[in-house]
Structure 1
Amino acid sequence: MSAGWFAAALTAAAMVADWWAVARSRAEVERWAKPAAMIGLLAVATLGGAGDTASGRWLLLALALGLVGDVLLLRDSPSRFAGGLMAFLLGHLAFVASFVLAGLDHPTWGWAGVAVVAGSLAVGRRILPGATADGGPGLAVAVATYMLVIGAMAVTGWATGSLLVGLGVSLFVVSDTVLAMGRFVQPHRWSHPVTMVTYHGAQVLIVWGLLGLLAS
């Protein structure tokens, strides 16, 4: 088995372990499985040649910032949530840079991203009022800024013309919408597992699709 496939297998195992830990409320397993999944995905991207291009290096930065955000969100507190929000916001900006450098050769595909964002806003119309009630206007502004940035990521991701990247950014929007709904509107037992499954699926599809673009 090549190093890349071995890293991919370990990454998949860490992701499944994290999903199980989240579903079973096993924090002691989540503490190592959650960061291990992103470390593994960083290794997969690196072994896949991401470091050889400017677009790929921005991808690696985005994944690293996702890892930071994951670690911060392992514990629930206002300060750690704010730090995680900032890490993921910067990560989404890094994804945008990566997509732009890879080439937005299919701008009309960007409308699929617009549709995904519009659907998310319709479903999550109570998120900003909930964020205001939870943390005041400052938190609401931060969440609104985050929503704007992930919207840009969705549009630019689809505009690359890669179906895998487009599906990945769409899953990212779904993941963040479920997370925000669970935190600011109505918590559900299934919110956290769905957030993590869609989040990991998003990261995998983006890495897979972007590495394919860069290799072509």
Structure 2
Amino acid sequence: METPAPIDLATWPRRQHFEHYLQASPCTYAMTVELDATAFVEALRASSRKTYVAQVWALATVVNRHDEFRTVLTGDGAPAVWPTVHPAFTVLNAERETFACVWAPYDPDFGAFHDIAAPLLAEHASATEFFPQGAPPPNSFDVSSLPWTSFTGFTLNIRDGWRHLAPIFTLGRYVERDGRVLLPLAVQVHHAVADGFHTSRLVNELRALLADPAWVG
């Protein structure tokens, strides 16, 4: 079982920011962006890969590059960093108009991840349980998709969520504008672990993955 590595507060450059935004002024924020997904969509049209699985993998890839998005509070409230985090993502039961939350272990190889995640979506499309696999592992982060509409803003309001440090992502419906295909993405972040600089870097790395989708296969 994976365990998070403690952060040495004595040498952590972020200590004061962490303590301020966790204790003195608990604060989360949301950023909504439109990602140019033109090349990504073209690659998927030429492939048998599933779009949603590819979106989830791309998010998991950039999240796993950075400690700030893998940070967690231990039982005694100390910050620590997971070696790997895994995406938990929603699947709609269209007949019941409810969704289930499933998760797949992250693999840096997209093909290997797709081979696990795509069957999960098919298997649980008729799920009647919220968590058909049981509770997601503690080292998971959440992704949801709203493929029925695009948006220019999206904010989650989590009651008593001041200790939830993992990022939360919401994907929207593609929109075409000026010959480009754009993907709305909302990112919910805890300010204790990540500033606008860190979230902007994550978004820009995601843009780069979508712009050069040779990995789609």
Structure number with the higher helix fraction is 1
Same fold (TM over 0.5): no
- Work out which structure has the larger RCO, using CA pairs closer than 8 Å and 6 or more positions apart in sequence: 2
**TM value normalised by structure 1:** 0.26
Higher strand share: 2
Larger Rg: 2
